[in-house]
């Protein structure tokens, strides 16, 4: 933990990223208080207004305030990011733990399953599933989670493979502690640090995936705002309204960049080997 | 290889059957274009009156004959629709891969060699930006800047309408100009990822004893870096290149859709939009198999450049 604080203190960029992450979270939670306009209110007199004093980020093709839509969009992006990663972490940890702990046949079957899942480009798999099920924020979260657990599984498996050989695990086995208890109480807590780092990177990835899906028209449906679907109107009005493309994309970019920077700093502080090499 | 191939078909089959209730009803309900005839064909295609394992075996048999049924949209055979799109996507991805390789490895090696130099710091910033950048946004920005504002490059399609009147050389230039922006979008993430990876791989190698030995016996720095360092550092990089195949193909959905390039990604997108199930499911299998082939090629390349693995059983 000391290393973490030390590392953030030495790295002003990551500290700023951490600050941005907190700020974004606060913005998302207090969206109704912060947003200057309603995100869905249509104003036909102010269609595609460029950025100005009344609308700092301009308006879209229905006269809706882009800044307000982005503030509400932060709710969508962040909640999808967190829930999807939560699902991915749960599945990945469970599969990785079982594979690493039991080894042998179970291990090879589970890891083969991971290999198979990895041969599908994620976006193809997600599109195939979302056109069958009903598309709303909950199903999007689940689908992104279900297609994003493989790296976590590999990571957890590797941790389990090495930790299960350690004396305290052998000792627990010797005194007859049952397998489930060894997995969850003895090994898992020692394997959580890299999982946490993976989760931080995972949130960036899930936010990117959600925005790409919404951009393509398979994610969050308008009028509900999401950073991705504001960019869709940006594309439709690309010749006349640059602000519709610039600001929401910048929001996605800064958010994922912040999570990636924080993730990198966390990883550096948790991995002593990397600490020397960078 | 074979078990993975079977697994791919099982997962695709599961996705088809995810639909609540009767998939034919759900699918035709969503797609008004599906006529009563198409409905019958679909029932026959999936053999829905059969028990599940029989359905799977039948579907697998048809898959081995590349028979994925007919498209809802234009009643053409699915495999024909896919076949005509494969060359475009494959060549764009091959070009992208070459560009990624040409740029990423020198960048990574140089950053590792001159660690913490100005160059290393600047590339680190770019690597992070490249990682975090939503590709479709990058595409929009490039379109606005180079297409709309500056007018340097065309922003949609693969060729101009006047291509028929051009000489061979002009056609080549025309297609190349159309490809600049899509390829730029397709390679950004790859260059960022691979240069980072080759940097850390090179750092790892440079710390090894044999590098110190090479330096100690007075070899020129160039020999140390390129002969002793690079060859060893490249091994894991090749594996990563194989692993990046799904990402590249997945990216084609995005850049082909945005730039209106008639490749597999764009077909997948438009078929998904139209709820054209036979095409979507057929492509899902084919894409996964192509990815598997990409991984296989990476494995073979690995064997070729790694002196420890000998191909063909010869022993040294």
pLDDT value, residue A11: 82
Set of chain A residues whose Cβ sits within 8 Å of the Cβ of B273: 217
- Low-confidence residues in chain B, pLDDT < 50: 21, 313-316
The CA distance from B169 to the nearest CA of chain A, in Å, is 31
Q: Which CATH architecture has domain A58-277?
A: Orthogonal Bundle (1.10)
Smallest Cβ distance to B249: which of A121, A231, A264?
Answer: A121
The CA distance from B188 to the nearest CA of chain A, in Å, is 14
Instruction: Give the CATH number of domain B83-274; options: 3.30.1460.30, 1.10.10.10, 3.40.50.720, 1.10.3720.10.
Output: 1.10.3720.10
ipTM: 0.83
Three-state secondary structure string covering chain A: CHHHHHHHHHCHHHHHHHHHHHHHHHHHHCHHHHCCCCCCCCCHHHCCCCCCCCCCCCECCCCCEHHHHHHHHHHHHHHHHHHHHHHHHHHHHHHHHHHHHHCHHHHHHHHHHHHHHHHCCHHHHHHHHHCCCCCCHHHHHHHHHHCCCHHHHHHHHHHHHHHCCCHHHHHHHHCCCCHHHHHHHHHHHHHHHHHHHHHHHHHHHHHHHHHHHHHHCCCCCCCCCCHHHHHHHHHHCCCCCHHHHHHHHHHHHHHHHHHHHHHHHHHHHHCHHHHHHC
Residue-range domain boundaries for chain B:
2-64, 83-274
Of A221, A189, A208, A196, nearest to A249 by C-alpha is A208
> How many residues does this entry show for chain A?
278
Of B113, B306, B96, B99, nearest to B199 by C-alpha is B113
Which residue of A lies nearest to B27 if distances are taken between CA atoms? A132
d(CA A205, CA A199) in angstroms, rounded, equals 10
Phi, psi of B70 (to 5 degrees): -115, 150
The residues near B226 (Cβ < 8 Å, ≥ 6 apart) are none
pTM of the shown model: 0.86
Set of chain B residues whose Cβ sits within 8 Å of the Cβ of A257: 128-129, 131-132
Helix axes A12-29, A66-102, angle to 10 degrees: 110
pLDDT in tens, A2-56: 778 888 888 888 899 999 999 999 999 998 888 888 888 887 787 888 888 888 8
Smallest Cβ distance to B11: which of A116, A234, A238?
Answer: A116
d(CA B180, CA B77) in angstroms, rounded, equals 32
CB-based contact A107:A46 (threshold 8 Å) = no
Smallest Cβ distance to B250: which of A122, A242, A277?
Answer: A122
| A171 or B244: which leads in pLDDT | A171
Q: Are the Cβ atoms of B140 and A231 closer than 8 angstroms?
A: yes
Phi, psi of B31 (to 5 degrees): -115, 100
The residues near A262 (Cβ < 8 Å, ≥ 6 apart) are A14, A17, A18, A21, A200
- How many CB atoms sit inside 10 A of residue B293's CB? 13
The residues near B177 (Cβ < 8 Å, ≥ 6 apart) are B153, B154
Tell me if residue B244 falls in helix, strand or coil: coil
pLDDT in tens, B128-184: 888 888 988 998 888 888 888 888 888 777 777 777 777 888 888 888 888 888 999
Smallest Cβ distance to B246: which of A118, A238, A252?
Answer: A118
d(CA A131, CA A123) in angstroms, rounded, equals 12
Number of cross-chain residue pairs from A and B with Cβ atoms under 8 Å apart: 139
CB-based contact B77:B164 (threshold 8 Å) = no
Q: Are the Cβ atoms of A277 and B207 closer than 8 angstroms?
A: yes
pLDDT value, residue B314: 47
Q: Are the Cβ atoms of B258 and A235 closer than 8 angstroms?
A: yes
Which residues sit opposite A65 in a β-bridge?
A59
Set of chain B residues whose Cβ sits within 8 Å of the Cβ of A123: 250-251, 253-254
Mutation target vs B (from A108, A120, A277; most B CBs, 10 A cutoff):
A120
CB-based contact A161:A240 (threshold 8 Å) = no
Query: Residue A127, Cα to own-chain centre: how many angstroms?
Result: 18
- pLDDT exceeds 70 at position A277: no
Q: A221: alpha, beta or left, given left = phi > 0 and alpha = psi -120 to 50?
A: beta
The CA distance from B316 to the nearest CA of chain A, in Å, is 32
d(CA B302, CA B296) in angstroms, rounded, equals 10
Q: Are the Cβ atoms of A132 and B15 closer than 8 angstroms?
A: yes
- pLDDT exceeds 70 at position A58: yes
Q: Are the Cβ atoms of A128 and B284 closer than 8 angstroms?
A: yes
pLDDT value, residue B240: 77
Q: Are the Cβ atoms of A112 and B272 closer than 8 angstroms?
A: no
Tokens representing residue A144 in the block: 């992104």
pLDDT value, residue A236: 87
pLDDT value, residue B309: 64
CB-based contact A248:A230 (threshold 8 Å) = yes
Give me the mean pLDDT over the A185-202 stretch: 91
Indicate the average pLDDT of chain A: 88
């Amino acid at each position: 933990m000391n290393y973490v604080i030390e590392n953030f203190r030495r790295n002003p960029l990551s500290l700023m990223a951490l600050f941005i992450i907190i700020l974004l979270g606060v913005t998302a939670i207090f969206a109704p208080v912060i947003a200057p306009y309603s995100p869905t209110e249509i104003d036909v007199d102010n269609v595609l207004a460029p950025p100005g004093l009344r609308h700092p980020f301009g308006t879209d093709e229905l006269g809706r305030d882009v800044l307000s839509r982005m503030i509400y969009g932060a709710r969508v992006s962040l909640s999808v990011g967190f829930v999807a990663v939560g699902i991915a972490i749960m599945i990945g940890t469970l599969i990785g733990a079982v594979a690493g702990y039991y080894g042998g046949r179970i291990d090879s079957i589970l890891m083969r399953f991971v290999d198979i899942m990895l041969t599908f480009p994620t976006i193809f798999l997600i599109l195939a599933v979302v056109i069958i099920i009903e598309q709303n924020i909950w199903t999007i979260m689940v689908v992104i989670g279900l297609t994003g657990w493989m790296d976590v599984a590999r990571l957890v498996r590797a941790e389990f493979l090495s930790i299960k050989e350690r004396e305290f695990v052998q000792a627990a086995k010797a005194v007859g502690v049952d397998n489930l208890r060894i997995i969850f109480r003895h090994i898992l807590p020692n394997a959580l640090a890299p999982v946490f780092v993976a989760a931080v990177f995972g949130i960036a990835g899930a936010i990117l995936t959600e925005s790409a899906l919404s951009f393509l028209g398979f994610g969050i449906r308008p009028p509900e705002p999401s950073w991705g679907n504001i960019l869709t109107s940006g594309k439709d009005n690309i010749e006349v309204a640059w602000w519709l493309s610039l600001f929401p994309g910048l929001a996605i970019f800064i958010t994922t960049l912040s999570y990636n920077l924080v993730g990198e700093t966390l990883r550096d502080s948790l991995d002593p080997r990397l600490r020397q090499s960078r | 290889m074979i078990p993975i191939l079977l697994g791919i078909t099982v997962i695709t089959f599961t996705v088809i059957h995810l639909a609540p209730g009767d998939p034919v009803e759900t699918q035709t309900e969503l797609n008004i274009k599906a006529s009563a005839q198409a409905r019958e064909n679909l029932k026959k295609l999936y053999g829905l009156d059969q028990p599940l394992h029989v359905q799977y075996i039948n579907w697998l048999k048809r898959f081995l004959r590349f028979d994925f049924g007919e498209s809802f949209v234009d009643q053409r055979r699915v495999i024909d629709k896919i076949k005509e799109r494969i060359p475009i996507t494959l060549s764009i991805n091959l070009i992208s891969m070459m560009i990624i390789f040409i740029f990423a490895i020198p960048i990574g090696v140089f950053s590792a060699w001159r660690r913490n130099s100005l160059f290393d710091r600047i590339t680190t910033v770019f690597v992070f930006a490249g990682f975090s950048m939503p590709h479709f946004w990058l595409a929009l920005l490039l379109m606005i800047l180079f297409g709309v504002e500056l007018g340097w490059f065309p922003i949609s399609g693969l060729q101009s309408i006047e291509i028929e009147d051009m000489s061979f050389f002009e056609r080549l230039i025309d297609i190349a100009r159309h490809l600049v922006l899509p390829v730029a979008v397709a390679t950004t993430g790859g260059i960022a990822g691979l240069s980072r990876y080759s940097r850390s791989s090179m750092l790892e190698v440079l710390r090894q004893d044999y590098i110190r030995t090479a330096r100690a016996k007075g070899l020129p720095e160039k020999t140390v870096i390129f002969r002793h360092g690079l060859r060893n550092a490249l091994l894991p990089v090749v594996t990563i290149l194989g692993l990046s195949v799904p990402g590249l193909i997945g990216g084609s959905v995005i850049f082909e859709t945005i730039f209106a390039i008639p490749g597999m990604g764009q077909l997948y997108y438009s078929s998904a939009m139209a709820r054209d199930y036979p095409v979507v499911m057929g492509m899902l299998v084919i894409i996964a198999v192509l990815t598997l082939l990409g991984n296989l090629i990476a494995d073979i390349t690995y064997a070729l450049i790694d002196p420890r693995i000998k191909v063909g059983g010869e022993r040294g």
